[in-house]
Amino acid sequence: MFNISRTTTVRGLLVSAAAVGVMLLVGCATDGQGGGGPMKSAESCRATKEQLNKLDARGVQALVEAQTRGKKLSASQKADADNYNRLLNDYLGARCHVA
């Protein structure tokens, strides 16, 4: 049979992949109508992407995935995860990833 840690790792990867897939589907399905709505300019898309990259460099994406799995986060970690989700929704909702 499977080793518990292996099963847990596989389950964690599946949850993470599902969370990313849902975020992408939500962003694509909104067609600029949902999420944060259309960005004012390409500069706004770049600025949002830069903020996302900074949060990625700090490991915030792992916090988002942990939050998705139901793990309790500290107040500052939750704020970072929520900010990341808001920025990602704005970025995808404005279809910056397609431009």
Q: What are phi and psi of 41, to 5 degrees?
A: -160, 170
Residue with the bigger pLDDT between 1 and 92: it is 92
Q: Does residue 62 contact residue 45 with C-beta atoms inside 8 Å?
A: no
Residue 27 sits at the vertex; the CA angle it makes with 25 and 28, to the nearest 5 degrees, is 65
Residue 97: which of 40, 27, 37, 36 has the closest Cα?
Answer: 27
**Mean pLDDT estimate for the chain:** 76
Which tokens is 44 given?
Answer: 């706004």
- The domain spans of the chain are 4-93
Q: What is the pLDDT of residue 11?
A: 59
Q: What is the pTM of this model?
A: 0.59
pLDDT-based confidence at 32, cuts 50/70/90? very low
